[in-house]
Structure 1
Amino acid sequence: MIHFVPTPIGNRDDITLRAIEALKNADRIACEDTRHSAPLLAHLGIAGKPLVSLHEHNEVRRIPELVAAARGGETIAVVSDAGMPGVSDPGYRLIQACLQESLDYEVLPGPSAVLTALIGSGFPCHAFHFLGFLSVKKGKRLAAMEAALENDGTTLFFESPHRLISTLEVLAKAHPDARCCVARELTKKFETYHRGTAAELLAHFQSHPPKGEIVFLIAGD
């Protein structure tokens, strides 16, 4: 059995009882970054578990090893650095392999930056679209954001703090009145939600350079 285990997106106390149990019972834990996961496991008092890396650069070659281990009777837990494995993180290809190999797997519910930001933004929740990270190319970024403005409901993106001002510049130039929200450092000490038009948020972050992990939301029609 392979268990896909969500981990906190910031506050370590957000881990679920089922997630802790799955990590305790695992024979090995596949981590997006073992250096990142090790402190969490230590905080939970989980020691002595073999940790293997499972990230975007080695996922394809690591999958056969994990599938073979599960076939051999091992219980494997899969975690990303934060939130749900498979959401802009490793995990999707492994689930596809499980389906192809008719191998049992379980996905545990838990923390998600996408849903936390959606609810906290105050933007419409009846329909929403999550499109991962915005493109590094300005033309593609603008196209994605203009499509979001045409969508029913809310569209969410992950964005780098180093590129947020550039993204807001692109949007504010074309659609200064677009309704946006920047959800930053969710569940952490300095969590903030900044809501306003693209032009207003651009002015704010030009004066207050953004830091930390960011979910960028655009309200559609």
Structure 2
Amino acid sequence: MPDPATQYPAPDEQASSTPLPDTSLEPGLYIVATPIGNLGDITQRAADALARCDVIACEDTRVTGRLLHHMGLHKRMIRYDDHADDVSRDRLLGLMATQAVALVSDAGTPLVSDPGYRLVRAAHQQGIALTALPGPSAAIMALTLSGLPTDRFLFAGFMPVKDKARSDIMTELAGLRATLIFYETAPRLVSSLLALAGAWPARDVAVARELTKKFEECRVGTAQALAEHYTAHPPRGEIVLLVGPPAAPSTADLDIDAMLREQLLDKKASQAAAYLARLHGLDRKTLYERALKMKEA
């Protein structure tokens, strides 16, 4: 596959915003980011690739069809989603030997909580030429809008549905000094906010929704305050849920041994360590080792 820098002219070399002439791309896989709401966010490179590719692999042909209609394009589409089997994947890989296949998701950047990981991995393993055309991402847009720290962040995908799994992920990530980014659905938002309020009552939380659309919103506050707001005003649309990092604890102000002794009265060492780590943003492994020594003493 040619170097993308030569295949797609730099901005100052482009005479207009219209796609390049309809000549085919080199065979291979093109990972193409598409708008997350506002169709005007399609990039020049993405529009060009979709105009010139031979086949588009997409989650839902109806959704991608609307984007193509907006762009005035008619292209062959093949459905490829999380339920795609090995036969569907092998079919696409076979096409890439002689054709340019564009991979898109319903919205945003493919593979980011969307299908495509196995296809891209298989393309690498088979030596197929591939490149990615960057563009919209709800997670990154929400992070930049939230006002939460951006120097370190973790995208954690969709918040788990079940209470136990949600509690486990919060315990796992409690001590991480980074902004956490989750995707969430409107019907589950309040329950997730209440869980966050119980685990991390003092942390800054942001809810970003309807991004790039008319009713775009990014609301910041404590999890409890946000839960109360969205209980009174049930949300709609796609949602990004962000949690700020824990405040740096002053261990000088904490009597860690006393807290551990209290928790060990009715908890195992692992449970006591996990609880205090989540509550105070401390290192769980260090607490666990300390708790074991206390129990052995």
Q: Same fold (TM over 0.5)?
A: yes
Q: Which runs of 5+ in 1 are unaligned?
A: none
In the alignment, which residue of structure 2 is the partner of 1:84? 109
Query: Pick from 13, 18, 21: which aligns with 2:48?
Result: 21
Residue 179 of structure 1 deviates from its aligned partner by 1.4
In structure 2, C-alpha distance between the alignment counterparts of 1:36 and 1:177, rounded to whole Å: 40
In the alignment, which residue of structure 2 is the partner of 1:192? 217
More helix by share: 2
TM-score by length of 1: 0.96
In structure 2, C-alpha distance between the alignment counterparts of 1:146 and 1:210, rounded to whole Å: 27
* Higher RCO structure (Cα 8 Å, ≥6 apart): 1
Q: Decide whether aligned partners of structure 1 residues 13 and 169 sit closer, same or farther in structure 2, where only a CA change above 3 A counts.
A: same
Q: Does 1:174 align with 2:199?
A: yes
Q: Does 1:162 align with 2:187?
A: yes
In the alignment, which residue of structure 2 is the partner of 1:61? 87
In structure 2, C-alpha distance between the alignment counterparts of 1:84 and 1:52, rounded to whole Å: 18
In structure 2, C-alpha distance between the alignment counterparts of 1:133 and 1:41, rounded to whole Å: 28
Q: Does 1:96 align with 2:121?
A: yes
In the alignment, which residue of structure 2 is the partner of 1:46? 73
Query: Pick from 155, 163, 177: which aligns with 1:130?
Result: 155
Q: Which runs of 5+ in 2 are unaligned?
A: 1-27, 247-297
**Which stretch of the first structure deviates more once superposed, 53-62 or 122-131?**
53-62
TM-score by length of 2: 0.72
Q: Does 1:35 align with 2:62?
A: yes
In the alignment, which residue of structure 1 is the partner of 2:236? 211
In structure 2, C-alpha distance between the alignment counterparts of 1:14 and 1:87, rounded to whole Å: 18
Which AA in structure 2 matches 1:31? C
In structure 1, C-alpha distance between the alignment counterparts of 2:165 and 2:133, rounded to whole Å: 34
Residue 168 of structure 1 deviates from its aligned partner by 1.1
**Which stretch of the first structure deviates more once superposed, 141-150 or 197-206?**
141-150
Which secondary structure does the structure 2 equivalent of 1:98 belong to? helix
Identity of aligned residues (%): 45
In structure 1, C-alpha distance between the alignment counterparts of 2:36 and 2:85, rounded to whole Å: 22
In structure 2, C-alpha distance between the alignment counterparts of 1:143 and 1:167, rounded to whole Å: 13
CA RMSD of aligned residues (A): 1.2
Matches within 5 A, 1:115-126: 115-126=140-151
**Which stretch of the first structure deviates more once superposed, 145-154 or 167-176?**
145-154
Aligned positions, number? 219
Q: Does 1:6 align with 2:33?
A: yes
Question: 1:71-94 CA deviation, whole Å, 9 max, x = no partner?
Answer: 1x1111110000111111111111
Determine if contact 1:60/1:93 at 8 Å carries over to the other structure: no
In the alignment, which residue of structure 2 is the partner of 1:111? 136
Residue 146 of structure 1 deviates from its aligned partner by 4.3
Residue 137 of structure 1 deviates from its aligned partner by 1.0
Residue 176 of structure 1 deviates from its aligned partner by 2.4
- Superposed structure 1 runs of 4+ greater than 6 Å apart: none
Residue 145 of structure 1 deviates from its aligned partner by 3.0
In the alignment, which residue of structure 2 is the partner of 1:74? 99
In structure 2, C-alpha distance between the alignment counterparts of 1:29 and 1:61, rounded to whole Å: 17
